[in-house]
A and B are shown apart, each in its own frame.
Chain A
Amino acid sequence: KQEVTQIPAALSVPEGENLVLNCSFTDSAIYNLQWFRQDPGKGLTSLLLIQSSQREQTSGRLNASLDKSSGRSTLYIAASQPGDSATYLCAVMSSGSARQLTFGSGTQLTVLP
């Protein structure tokens, strides 16, 4: 059974800092990996999706990497802003899972002005 772990559980940084969020998964037989943003009491916003054959994806100040063999992914946020404050979730779609996602417990990010 796939398990997804995110470290750290919470992170507080001053505005302008670059930061890295970590995600690890136990079963490397994955179809893709997604990073989501969740604001309090709200739904999910998809940030980046990395296919199993890809190594990284970039969107603006965000860069996500994937090392499938070691079961790790990182989300890099450059020049953080207070508006980046949210919970970031990593989710894995396992091969043969019929599109089901397994989520990590998230990293709660606070960017201080």
Chain B
Amino acid sequence: GAVVSQHPSRVICKSGTSVKIECRSLDFQATTMFWYRQFPKQSLMLMATSNEGSKATYEQGVEKDKFLINHASLTLSTLTVTSAHPEDSSFYICSASPWGYREEKLFFGSGTQLSVL
């Protein structure tokens, strides 16, 4: 099956710093990738849809100036948490689907656990 690689798997940083998370589709091209966030004991919530070559689409309540998304190529999307604060501590996970994949099945990265001190 298709593979989505996400790095880093865990980040611990001080409040006020910026953190970049990478999501790569290893063996397929993805014009669209999705970023989800999961707080402890809660389910995954869609944050934004990353579109190759254009601006990301953010869900209601997600600050686009805080969560910068860049989808510069067909295999890479990055999420940068700018000036991170403790309330941004969460599990972030990306997903993608091969273009034209028959079942519209999404493949997920392994996630990034962000802890802001």
Contacts and interface: CB of A to CB of B under 8 A. Distances in A.
A46 interface: yes
B49 interface: yes
Contact of B91 (A34, A41, A104): A41
Contacts of A28: none
A41 B43 contact: no
Interface in A30-81: 31-32, 34, 36, 41-44, 46, 49, 51
Nearest to B101: A99
Given A32-B104, A44-B93, A99 B34 contact: yes
B113 A106 contact: no
Nearest to A32: B104
Contacts of B104: 31-32, 93, 99
Contacts of B74: none
Most buried by A among B46, B104, B106, B107: B106
A43 B110 contact: yes
B93 A41 contact: no
Given A101-B106, A104-B43, A43 B97 contact: no
A109 interface: no
Contact of B32 (A32, A51, A98): A98
Contacts of B105: 32, 34, 46, 49
B103 A51 contact: yes
Interface string B1-30: 000001000000000000000000000000
B62 interface: no
Contacts of A101: 34, 44, 46, 95, 106
Nearest to A36: B108
A105 interface: yes
Interface in B26-47: 32, 34, 36, 42-46
A98 B49 CA distance: 9
Contacts of A105: 42-43
Contact of A49 (B34, B93, B103, B110): B103
A100 interface: yes
Interface of B: 6, 32, 34, 36, 42-46, 49, 91, 93, 95, 97, 103-111, 113
